[in-house]
Amino acid sequence: AQSVTQPDIHITVSEGASLELRCNYSYGATPYLFWYVQSPGQGLQLLLKYFSGDTLVQGIKGFEAEFKRSQSSFNLRKPSVHWSDAAEYFCAVSGGATNKLIFGTGTLLAVQP
């Protein structure tokens, strides 16, 4: 069965520091992978996505993610975090016969001044 694991429930970083949010997936075929961000009381905004090709994908707001098939991972990174990046981040997987998105449990990012 498809599943997504985000091992870090809560992360705090200082403004200007680098960030990496972890995401591991379990899927039998080539997955479609997504990172979404959710601000409090808001819907989800797509940061980036991976379907095929170059395993390093660039997204909006300076985010990037790298697909590593050998590690079943799709970690999200940003070289320098801004206070406005404080939010909840969700990794999701889809593909194959289903058009559903399977979400991880989310990582809540706090940014210290």
Partner 1 sequence: GAVVSQHPSWVICKSGTSVKIECRSLDFQATTMFWYRQFPKQSLMLMATSNEGSKATYEQGVEKDKFLINHASLTLSTLTVTSAHPEDSSFYICSVQKQGSSYNEQFFGPGTRLTVL
The helices-and-strands tally (H runs, E runs) of the chain is: 0, 12
Q: Which of 85, 95, 109, 111 binds partner 1 (CB under 8 A)?
A: 95
| Contact status: 34 vs partner 1 (CB under 8 A) | yes
| Contact status: 63 vs partner 1 (CB under 8 A) | no
Nearer to partner 1, 53 or 113 (CB): 53
| Contact status: 89 vs partner 1 (CB under 8 A) | no
Tell me 52's DSSP state. S
Residue 24 C-beta-side C-alpha neighbours within 13 Å: 6
The residue with tokens 């809540």 is 108
- Cα 73 to Cα 82: distance, rounded to the nearest angstrom: 24
- Nearest approach in angstroms of CB 82 to partner 1 is 22
| Contact status: 46 vs partner 1 (CB under 8 A) | yes
| Contact status: 59 vs partner 1 (CB under 8 A) | no
